[in-house]
């Protein structure tokens, strides 16, 4: 896919390590100039160096994504030094509150919600006006399959990721007339510092989530490849949907009628219904 994003600018929040780093490097390898944002200078610099080694311009910017002024200043700096932002990847997230709801620190619980959800909203809020003016753009929110299932020990993280999925759909609906696509992407179980800590501290992990062997871990490069494909325009018709790193975009696009008809790839309730139904719709780009 090298060259697909030549001349475009991407921002990756949470780009200092793990999935965010893999996405940043892949975007650079596809030709995009990449700015990586996060809280720690050293890992951000390391990611920026990897992006540069892939042949792309890069910037490392320390930024707290929950701070509105900092986010606005960061996005302005990116546009001033690299150019107009075409792709935003909201990858920043924390998982500090692991434990039963009445035993954990409420501030840690709220931080998990705020970093993922407020961070994604503030970043989108900062870049969308420019995307609308230019009539193009892609926003990818890194969420999780955890959004769809309950767990007694990670309630804040799951609440945040579920909210991010719904935010993606709402943003997609709002942005559809402006040729801006928004996606919620679940990486699957990637071996990161966060998942390794979860494996140690979440009592439900061994029975419910742990891969049986290293073969079952999702490589971060698979997630990155999906994000690059979406940034390249290969997700047309799927804006607002909840996607997984294992999804085949070409196959999904061939089956759009089925996806629409069966209301697939939404984070939604399944229940017995009577009376009227409210059907989600696929938000199309303006032609």
**The CATH number of the domain where 190 resides is what?**
3.40.50.720
In-domain check, residue 280: no
Specify if 231 maps to a domain. Answer: yes
- pLDDT for the residue numbered 210: 53
Q: Which residues contact 157 (CB under 8 A, 6 or more apart)?
A: 93, 94, 95, 97, 112, 116, 144, 146
Give me the number of domains the chain comprises: 1
Asked whether the beta carbons of 181 and 119 are under 8 A apart, the reply is: no
| Residue 107 belongs to some domain of the structure | yes
* Parent domain of 234: 9-261
Q: Is the pTM of this model over 0.95?
A: no
Structural domain includes residue 16: yes
Mention every residue, 6+ apart, whose C-beta is less than 8 A from residue 111.
94, 96, 97, 156
Instruction: Give domain status of residue 132, yes or no.
Output: yes
Residue 269 lies in a domain: no
> In the annotation, is 157 catalytic?
yes
Residue 193: per-residue pLDDT: 77
In a domain, 196, yes or no: yes
User: For residue 282, is it within any domain?
Assistant: no
Note down pLDDT in tens along the chain; length 287 residues.
Answer: 446 899 999 999 999 989 999 999 999 999 999 999 999 999 999 999 999 999 999 999 999 999 999 999 999 999 999 999 999 999 999 999 999 999 999 999 999 999 999 999 999 999 999 999 999 999 999 998 888 888 889 999 999 999 999 999 999 999 999 999 999 999 877 777 777 777 777 777 666 655 555 547 788 899 999 999 999 999 999 999 999 998 999 999 999 888 887 788 887 755 555 444 444 444 444 43
For the packed helices 220-231 and 18-29, what is the interaxial angle rounded to 10 degrees?
A: 50
* Strand residues in 213-279 grouped as ranges (E): 242-244
């Amino acid at each position: 896919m090298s060259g697909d994003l030549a001349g475009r600018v991407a921002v990756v929040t949470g780009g200092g390590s793990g999935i965010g780093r893999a996405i940043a490097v892949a975007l650079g390898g596809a030709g995009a100039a990449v700015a990586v944002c996060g809280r720690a200078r050293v890992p951000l610099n390391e990611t920026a160096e990897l992006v540069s080694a892939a042949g792309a311009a890069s910037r490392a910017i320390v930024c707290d994504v929950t701070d509105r002024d900092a986010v606005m200043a960061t996005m302005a700096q990116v546009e001033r030094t690299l150019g107009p932002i075409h792709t935003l990847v909201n990858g920043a997230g924390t998982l500090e509150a692991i434990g039963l709801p009445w035993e954990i620190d409420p501030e840690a619980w709220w931080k998990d919600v705020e970093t993922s959800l407020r961070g994604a909203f503030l970043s989108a809020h900062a870049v969308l006006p420019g995307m609308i003016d230019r009539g193009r753009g892609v926003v990818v929110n890194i969420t999780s399959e955890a959004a769809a299932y309950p767990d007694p020990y990670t309630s804040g993280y799951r609440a945040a990721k579920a909210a991010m999925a719904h935010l993606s759909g709402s943003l997609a609906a709002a942005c559809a007339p402006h040729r801006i696509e928004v996606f919620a992407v679940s990486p699957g179980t990637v071996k990161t510092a966060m998942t390794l800590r979860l494996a140690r501290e979440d009592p439900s992990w061994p029975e419910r989530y742990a891969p049986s062997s290293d073969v079952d871990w999702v490589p971060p490069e698979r997630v990155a490849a999906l994000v690059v494909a979406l940034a390249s325009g290969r997700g047309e018709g799927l804006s607002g949907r909840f996607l997984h790193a294992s999804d085949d975009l070409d196959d999904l696009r061939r089956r759009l009628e089925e996806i629409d008809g069966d209301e697939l790839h939404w984070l939604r309730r399944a229940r017995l219904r009577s009376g009227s139904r409210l059907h989600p719709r696929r938000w199309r780009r303006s032609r």
